[in-house]
Structures are given as structure tokens and as C-alpha cells.
């Protein structure tokens, strides 16, 4: 492996470990065996976007390297029991088509300001419009102008962990920004044309579950996790639409997920793996960094998975170097052949081509 690539990996590892501090040490004890320890994670804060008449949103505290699921979309009753992919779900009046509004938090007015900014940014993203600081300041209430950077930081966090979209500054003098999806799902991440929100954040969560379950998660594992996010099979979600179709058909057809029957299972049971496009567009380390951000910690806090992600990064670098070497060798061989046997006039006229 080239010295430069190796040093980058080592630098990345040291940075994560330095940021982890005490959290890293405590996680070693908490995750003695990967098979026995699956992190209890905080779902993305969907409460920043919700339906009318929202309920209060609770928050949990970080314990060690793990955080218990607590953030709840406000349109779903918290008493609903687990609903798996093959079970019938009780029918309730759907509010999925209700207009979106902001969490009416009496205790934190910045939450309302953040929610308004998130909706504005998503509106601009879906329409591929330029984003400037001046335009964002028009959206934020005048009395919070002096706290704009904090509101922007919160909005950026919510965009990333809910929708899988990163806010990046492209011009520091004009203070212009763009939103970039973490993966290349069709139609800016919405998958289907028309109305809807990006599904990239949900996909990153699913890839994380699969990774942490030994790179193969049963359908029961997936729905258990999604239920903690208040996402249920058969119940339309106001951000993700109909989730069962999304994860067993849409994302499978796009080759981001592999959905297959468990061998020799009777009755039939199913499991999920990463699809080829997931392997091509992201990595275990990127997914781990995404999960760490949701839980306000660092990747090295998930010790055993972090070690596996580092090995995966090294293998990716080796594979890339090998491909580059093979490409260089092919180009070199072709160059020598061209010099040794230049095309004849007849070959040129016939459109024959050497060296691609």
C-alpha cells in the first residue's frame, strides 16, 4: 500500500480515537463480543418536521457509547406494539397527507427557527435552487439573527441525520451553499418523481443495522429497529412513504439492498444484505460515522465495528491501488504496441484504432 494512503488511514484512526477519549474506553467493556452487544441507538430527530398538532418530543441522555431510542415522530401513538414485515397492521386514520408544520416547542424557540430553516433548505434542494446566507437570514426571525450560526448548525445536523444530505459551503465570500446527498438515489433521493423527501437517511440507517448484525440482518431485526424509529410496515410514514415497499422493493430494485429468503426456512423468513450499489457508493466507515453523529459520539466508541470498518477501508485502498496498477500496465503495454506497429494508411481510413 502506498505510504500516503497508509498514513491517511492511520491519521484517521488516531483522530477518531482522540475524539473518543473516555467514550472509547467504556465502549470496549460494553461491546466485549459483537454477537452479544448491539447498540441501542437514538433514531434521527424526525420531530424537526412533523404534522399539525404535534406532541411533545422527549430526549434521552447519552450513556457510555450508546444512546437509547427516544425521538418520536409526533403523529404516531407511542403505545403501538411491534409490527413486522409479514404481520397485519391495525388501521388508523392516516395523517400522512397533512400539511407539514414545525414542532411547537415552548421551551426552545430555536427549535422552531431550526425547523423553519430545514423546510426552506429542503424546498431549495428539491428545486435545485442556489442557497445563500442572505436568503436564509430572510427566513430566520429577526430576533434570532445573532444566533444564526447556531440555528444553521442545528439545521445542518437535522438535514444530515434525517435526510442523509450534507450542507456544504461553496463560496466563503458570497456565503453560498449547496446540499449534497450522501448517496446517489434517484430524483435527489426521493426515488420517485414528484412530491416526497429524500430517503438517503433511512437507507444509511438500514445499512448500519445490517453492518452491525454481522453484515446480514433478518427482516425481524430490520423491523425491530424501524419500529423504534416509529416506522411501521403497512403505515405510511410522512417522510418515507410506505416503508415495506420502500425497503423490500424500491431499494432492492435499485440494488442498494439485497432481500433474500433465509435458506431452508419454513415458513419462509427473509434477510437483508448490502447491495452492490451500497458497496460502491458508501463504506462501513462512512455508515459508522453517520451512526456516531446521530448519537453525538465518535466511530471509535463502537469499538468492534470500528475495527472492522478500518479493515474494510484498508481493503478498499488496496483494491483501488491494484486497479490503478492494472490500468497503468494496460496503458503501458498498449503504448508500446502502438510505437512498435503504427497503423497503416488503410487501417486509418477504415477507422481502426489503437490505444482506445
Question: What's the pLDDT at 55?
Answer: 38
Instruction: List the Cα angle 45/51/52 in 5-degree steps.
Output: 130
Question: What's the pLDDT at 10?
Answer: 55
CA atoms within 13 A on the CB side of 163: 30
Tens of pLDDT, residue by residue over 120-154, are 999 999 888 889 999 999 999 888 999 999 999 99
Please report whether residue 24 resides in a domain: no
Here the cell at position 66 is 450508546
Question: What's the pLDDT at 192?
Answer: 72
Same domain, 261 and 227: yes
In CATH, what number is assigned to the domain containing residue 162? 1.10.10.1200
Question: What's the pLDDT at 218?
Answer: 96
Specify which residues 14 forms β-bridges with.
Answer: none
The DSSP result for 321-345, as a single string, is: HHHHHHHHHHHHHHHHHHHHSPPPH
Same domain, 229 and 158: no
Same domain, 268 and 294: no
Q: Of 278, 313, 344, which residue sits at a domain end?
A: 278
Same domain, 237 and 161: no
Same domain, 230 and 257: yes
Question: What's the pLDDT at 16?
Answer: 54
Same domain, 123 and 168: yes
| Contacts of range 115-122, beta carbons closer than 8 Å, 24 or more positions apart | 115/48, 115/49, 116/140, 117/151, 117/152, 117/155, 118/48, 118/49, 118/155, 118/158, 118/159, 119/49, 121/155, 121/159, 121/167, 121/179, 122/159, 122/163, 122/197
- Which of these, 55, 59, 62, lies nearest to 76 by C-alpha position? 55
Q: Which DSSP category does 147 fall into?
A: G
Question: What's the pLDDT at 207?
Answer: 96
- How many domains, the chain? 3
Same domain, 227 and 244: yes
Please report whether residue 17 resides in a domain: no
Q: Which residues of the chain have pLDDT under 50?
A: 18-37, 48, 50-82, 87-106, 338-340, 342, 344-345, 347-356
Contact 25, 298 (CB under 8 A): no
Same domain, 235 and 255: yes
Q: Of 241, 261, 278, which residue sits at a domain end?
A: 278
Question: What's the pLDDT at 40?
Answer: 54
What range does the domain containing 292 cover?
283-330
Tens of pLDDT, residue by residue over 183-198, are 988 877 888 766 678 9
Same domain, 289 and 318: yes
Amino acid at each position: 500500500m502506498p505510504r500516503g494512503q497508509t498514513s491517511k488511514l492511520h491519521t484517521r484512526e488516531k483522530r477518531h480515537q482522540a475524539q473518543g477519549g473516555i467514550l472509547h474506553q467504556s465502549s470496549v467493556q460494553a461491546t466485549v463480543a459483537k454477537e452479544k452487544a448491539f447498540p441501542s441507538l437514538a433514531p434521527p430527530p424526525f420531530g424537526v418536521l412533523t404534522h399539525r398538532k404535534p406532541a411533545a418530543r422527549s430526549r434521552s441522555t447519552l450513556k457510555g457509547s450508546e444512546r437509547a431510542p427516544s425521538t418520536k415522530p409526533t403523529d404516531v401513538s407511542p403505545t403501538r406494539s411491534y409490527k413486522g414485515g409479514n404481520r397485519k397492521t391495525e388501521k388508523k386514520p392516516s395523517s400522512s397527507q397533512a400539511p407539514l408544520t414545525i414542532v411547537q416547542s415552548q421551551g426552545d424557540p430555536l427549535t422552531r427557527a431550526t425547523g423553519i430553516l430545514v423546510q426552506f433548505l429542503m424546498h431549495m434542494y428539491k428545486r435545485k435552487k442556489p442557497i445563500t446566507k442572505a436568503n436564509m437570514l430572510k427566513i430566520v426571525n429577526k430576533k434570532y439573527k445573532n444566533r444564526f450560526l447556531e440555528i444553521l448548525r442545528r439545521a445542518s445536523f437535522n438535514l444530515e441525520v434525517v435526510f442523509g444530505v450534507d450542507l456544504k459551503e461553496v463560496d466563503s465570500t458570497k456565503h453560498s451553499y449547496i446540499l449534497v446527498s450522501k448517496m446517489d438515489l434517484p430524483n435527489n433521493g426521493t426515488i420517485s418523481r414528484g412530491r416526497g423527501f429524500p430517503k438517503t437517511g433511512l437507507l444509511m440507517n438500514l445499512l448500519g443495522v445490517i453492518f452491525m448484525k454481522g453484515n446480514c440482518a433478518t427482516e425481524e431485526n430490520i423491523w425491530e429497529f424501524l419500529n423504534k424509529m416509529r416506522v411501521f410496515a403497512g403505515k405510511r410514514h410522512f417522510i418515507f412513504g410506505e416503508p415495506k415497499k420502500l425497503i423490500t422493493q424500491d431499494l432492492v430494485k435499485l440494488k442498494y439492498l439485497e432481500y433474500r429468503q433465509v435458506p431452508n426456512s419454513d415458513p419462509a423468513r427473509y434477510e437483508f444484505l448490502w447491495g452492490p450499489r451500497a458497496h460502491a457508493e458508501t463504506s462501513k466507515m462512512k455508515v459508522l460515522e453517520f451512526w456516531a453523529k446521530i448519537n453525538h459520539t465518535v466511530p471509535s466508541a463502537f469499538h468492534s465495528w470500528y475495527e472492522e470498518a478500518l479493515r474494510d477501508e484498508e481493503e478498499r485502498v488496496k483494491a483501488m491501488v491494484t486497479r490503478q496498477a492494472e490500468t497503468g500496465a494496460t496503458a503501458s503495454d498498449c503504448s508500446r504496441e502502438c510505437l512498435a506497429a503504427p497503423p497503416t494508411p488503410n487501417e486509418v481510413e477504415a477507422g481502426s484504432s489503437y490505444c482506445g
